[in-house]
Amino acid sequence: MGSEVTSVKEGDFVSAEMHVACGKCFQCRTGEAHICQNVKIIGVDANGAFAEYVVIPESNIWKLDPAIPQEYASILDPLGNAVHTVLAGEIAGRTVAVTGCGPIGLFSIAVARAVGASTIFALEINQHRRQVAKQMHADYVLDPSKDDVRKIVKERTGGLGVDVVLEMAGHPDAIRTGFDIVRSGGRVSLLGLTSKPIPLNFSEDIIFKGITIQGINGRRMYQTWYQMTALLTSGRLDLRPVITDRLPMKDFAVAMDRFEDRRG
């Protein structure tokens, strides 16, 4: 378009929103650009952060406060998912279950803690991730393959169930459990992607309980970025336990191998 970039210059410490919204559709024009009808995702529709160079609209660049640790700058995209999900409804003084403790689930524990969730249940079958969940200060870290999650949650919530379920697994069992343990009138916020249809008992799971289910996509542009920045610069979030290794750029291949190992 020939217009000049003025808000950012070479050498700035920045991160970027990887969803590029069209700016013209109904969603973009009503403050919902994160669900733009014509969105392009850098890394999906164009070369992403593993490429040598990335082309990004000026408006998608987020200048970072120097107070934010450099290593955090590389994880703001998934952290934003967590912030968006946690803050999609009331959370202060609420009981919360995080189903699935991959990186975004783990971040969600930290965020929920920082914004006043009262009791946090972390559900995860992978032992390493359960350990990290403890380091993120979840109150109860449960293994759904062994623990009687439903019983434990009910006992610890006065028989009520949790106010909020943050679904980060995308696995049918985790989703099933989430609907089981949410209290009547609670909310289930869904971020974890599923690969196939999952049967839901609408009457028992949703209607009689009068719950609210939210589909969570990306991060609000740019409300979530402001919230994330505020939480980070005020020192409320300690994300270090999630960052297991720090390698120089040249050891890229080693990093990817380790990543694949852990995932397994």
Distance separating alpha carbons of residues 71 and 59, to the nearest angstrom: 23
Least distance (Å) from a second copy to the CB of residue 254? 32
Least distance (Å) from a second copy to the CB of residue 95? 7
Nearer to a second copy, 135 or 212 (CB): 212
Nearer to a second copy, 30 or 127 (CB): 30
Least distance (Å) from a second copy to the CB of residue 74? 21
Nearer to a second copy, 196 or 250 (CB): 196
Let me know: does 121 contact 140? Beta carbons within 8 Å: yes
Reference 124, options 169, 179, 157; nearest CA is: 169
Nearer to a second copy, 214 or 258 (CB): 214
Q: Which two tokens stand for residue 96?
A: 């919360």
In sequence order, what DSSP letters do the residues of 52-68 get, joined into one string?
A: S-----GGGEEEPPTTS
Least distance (Å) from a second copy to the CB of residue 257? 28
CA distances from 35 to 38, 90, 216, 247 (A): 9, 21, 9, 34
